[in-house]
């Protein structure tokens, strides 16, 4: 054990890590990504090593900001450092990489060491890559799901609660803002915890935040569920399934989404809040996460089987995913469109998708007979009962219940993309729409995003507006314009796709 003087480093690394001077690291035979045990008084923690020849002097230990919440120290404090060995979970990860099947105990240890930050991001990445390329059987997926729940916080609402979830991948999917008030207006309890955007221009929580705050304590959530029957909040502050949040953060730069991890991720979040019945939306089509019906059906059956093992009744809706839902992408634009639909307007595609999924939940819970759920959901929408329920939810979450679509601020900088020819829109690129909206500033800039003036099947004439970009700054608008001009966002029947000159 060696003593060092603490030096606080105002840098976030995303890991529980420290930095040593190169000379000290050599003497201790430590390398980058090795582990050390730190001790101060009664506090003790495992940290990952970084090395520098200039950021800290010999005899100093640099403490990054990420470590401070778990190991609070001040400049100059004496820290005892000792070299430690990798946890057993590293060997379990190696076993999976070589094609082995992991036991319940092995998976629990991997998840526990992930939450405790005993595993570094490289080791977590190796685990996720093994999941992606080797795969897991359903027993392993069940064990992984339960381990994610057991290493986090759980909520018992003391009554039957239901939920709707989407695997994502399609821009503009603001259906939750219609489904929650419809289902709550029908008398069911729907505590909707949603995520913020990770790779998309708007997550459900980002869109709802335009209308009301989305961060609450557990006691506040219990009270809201009792008083109004539902809410739409951000789940990140509740410490539900914290291992999953770490896995998602590591997946992002790798651009992977292992099927086993997707199953465990979604179902762990549902199990942690006691969901009894869930409808899963699987958007399917070109540019969606799932591009064909056979894959969608197989994935849906896996969710149904995992739900059966966990005691959650699951039904899956395979939905159209060839183009954005509705006509808008971006937090404020989507919030405005959702309000329009709740008030009796809005695009038909948004209404049809929302009421069909809500109808499935109503049928699963005996609110209506089989085959009559969507019609009842549409009646709740048409009668204004769903809108009234949404006003109650907005007010209970601290927003203005009388907000109207025109009250919602959208980006003041705008650019309209015209149709290059006469014809019919034959396809729309989901990835290009996402890229344009993100370049415009979404979701960080709530008013940024895009509005589609034309969708698949629309007849357009040369010069007609097909896409409108919204941004808060001129530079972001230019960035989005450039992507719109470079990417094949819309395919219009009759367009010249490429010229190959022969002279």
- Here the CATH number for the domain that contains residue 360 is 3.40.1030.10
Sign of dihedral through CA atoms 420, 424, 425, 427?
Answer: negative
What is the per-residue pLDDT across 422-440, written as a single tens digit (0 to 9) for each? 999 999 999 999 999 999 9
pTM above 0.75, yes or no: yes
pLDDT of residue 257: 86
pLDDT of residue 199: 73
pLDDT of residue 113: 93
Strands 78-83 and 35-40: antiparallel
Model confidence at 497: pLDDT above 70 = no
**CATH number of domain containing 97:** 1.20.970.10
Question: What domain range is 23 assigned to?
Answer: 2-83
Look over the chain and give the mean of its residue pLDDT values, rounded to a whole number: 93
Q: Are residues 217 and 343 in the same domain?
A: yes
pLDDT of residue 337: 97
Say if residues 342 and 388 touch (Cβ distance below 8 Å).
no
Interatomic CA distance for residues 144 and 151, integer angstroms: 11
What is the per-residue pLDDT across 209-224, written as a single tens digit (0 to 9) for each? 999 999 999 899 999 9
What is the per-residue pLDDT across 6-23, written as a single tens digit (0 to 9) for each? 999 999 887 889 999 999
Q: Are residues 108 and 201 in the same domain?
A: no
pLDDT of residue 121: 86
Any domain includes 415: yes
Q: Are residues 103 and 175 in the same domain?
A: no
Rounded mean pLDDT, 380-409: 97
Interatomic CA distance for residues 383 and 352, integer angstroms: 16
What is the per-residue pLDDT across 257-276, written as a single tens digit (0 to 9) for each? 899 999 999 999 999 999 99
Q: What phi and psi values does residue 154 have, to the nearest 5 degrees?
A: -125, 155
Any domain includes 332: yes
Sign of dihedral through CA atoms 121, 124, 130, 132?
Answer: negative
Q: Are residues 452 and 472 in the same domain?
A: yes
Q: Are residues 313 and 364 in the same domain?
A: yes
Any domain includes 433: yes
CB atoms inside a 10 Å sphere around CB 188: 21
pLDDT of residue 149: 96
What is the per-residue pLDDT across 291-337, written as a single tens digit (0 to 9) for each? 999 999 999 999 999 999 999 999 999 999 999 999 999 999 999 99
Rounded mean pLDDT, 369-390: 97
pLDDT of residue 236: 79
Query: Of 257, 402, 406, 464, which residue is the catalytic one?
Result: 257
Say if residues 17 and 47 touch (Cβ distance below 8 Å).
yes
Model confidence at 114: pLDDT above 80 = yes
Rounded mean pLDDT, 153-182: 93
Any domain includes 296: yes
Q: Residue 503 — pLDDT band, cuts 50, 70, 90? A: low
pLDDT of residue 498: 62
What is the per-residue pLDDT across 134-147, written as a single tens digit (0 to 9) for each? 999 999 999 999 99
Q: Are residues 389 and 311 in the same domain?
A: yes
Q: Are residues 382 and 280 in the same domain?
A: yes
Tally of CA atoms within 13 A in the half-sphere of 11 that contains its CB? 10
Is residue 294 annotated as a catalytic residue, yes or no? no
Number of domains observed in the structure of the chain: 4
Q: Which of 242, 258, 246, 248 is nearest to 136 (CA)?
A: 258
């Amino acid at each position: 054990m060696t003593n060092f003087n603490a030096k606080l480093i105002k840098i976030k690394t995303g890991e529980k890590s420290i930095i040593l001077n190169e000379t000290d690291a050599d003497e201790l035979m430590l390398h980058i990504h090795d582990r050390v045990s730190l001790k101060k008084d009664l506090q003790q923690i495992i940290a990952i090593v970084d090395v520098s020849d200039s950021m800290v002097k010999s005899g100093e230990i640099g403490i990054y900001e990420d470590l401070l919440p778990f190991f609070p120290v001040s400049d100059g404090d004496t820290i005892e450092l000792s070299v430690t060995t990798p946890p057993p979970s590293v060997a379990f990860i190696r076993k999976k990489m070589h094609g082995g099947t992991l036991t319940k105990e092995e998976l629990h240890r991997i998840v526990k060491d992930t939450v405790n930050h005993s595993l570094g991001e490289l080791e977590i990445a190796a685990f996720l890559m093994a999941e992606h390329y080797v795969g897991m059987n359903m027993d392993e997926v069940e064990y992984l799901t339960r381990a994610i729940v057991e290493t986090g916080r759980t909520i018992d609402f003391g009554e039957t609660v239901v939920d709707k979830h989407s695997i994502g991948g399609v821009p503009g999917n603001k259906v939750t803002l219609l489904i929650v008030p419809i289902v709550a207006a029908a008398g069911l309890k729907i505590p909707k915890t949603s995520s913020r955007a990770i790779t998309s221009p708007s997550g459900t929580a980002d869109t709802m935040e335009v209308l009301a705050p989305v961060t609450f304590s557990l006691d506040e959530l219990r009270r809201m569920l009792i008083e109004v029957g539902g809410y739409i909040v951000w789940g990140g502050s509740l410490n539900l399934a914290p291992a999953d949040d770490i896995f998602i953060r590591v997946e992002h730069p790798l651009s992977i989404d292992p099927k086993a991890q997707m199953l465990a991720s979604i179902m762990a979040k549902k199990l942690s809040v006691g969901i009894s019945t869930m409808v899963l939306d699987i958007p399917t089509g070109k540019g969606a996460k799932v591009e064909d019906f056979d894959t969608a059906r197989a994935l849906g059956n896996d969710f149904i089987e995992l739900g059966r093992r966990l005691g959650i009744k699951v039904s899956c809706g395979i939905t159209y995913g060839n183009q954005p839902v509705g006509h808008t992408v971006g937090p404020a634009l989507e919030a405005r469109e959702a309000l329009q639909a709740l008030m009796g307007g809005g695009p038909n595609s948004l209404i049809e998708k929302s009421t069909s999924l809500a109808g499935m939940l109503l049928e699963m819970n005996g609110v209506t007979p089989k085959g009559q759920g969507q019609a009842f959901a549409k009646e709740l929408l048409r009668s204004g009962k769903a809108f009234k329920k949404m006003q109650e939810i907005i007010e209970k979450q601290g927003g203005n219940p009388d907000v109207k679509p025109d009250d919602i601020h959208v980006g003041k900088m705008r650019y309209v993309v015209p149709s290059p020819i006469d014809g019919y829109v034959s396809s729309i690129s989901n990835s290009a729409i996402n890229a344009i909206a993100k370049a415009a500033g979404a979701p960080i800039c709530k008013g940024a995003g895009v509005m589609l003036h034309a969708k698949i099947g629309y007849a357009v004439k040369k010069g007609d507006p097909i896409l409108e970009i919204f941004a808060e700054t001129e530079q972001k608008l230019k960035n989005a314009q450039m992507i719109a001009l470079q990417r094949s966002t819309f395919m219009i029947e009759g367009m010249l796709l490429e010229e190959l000159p022969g002279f």
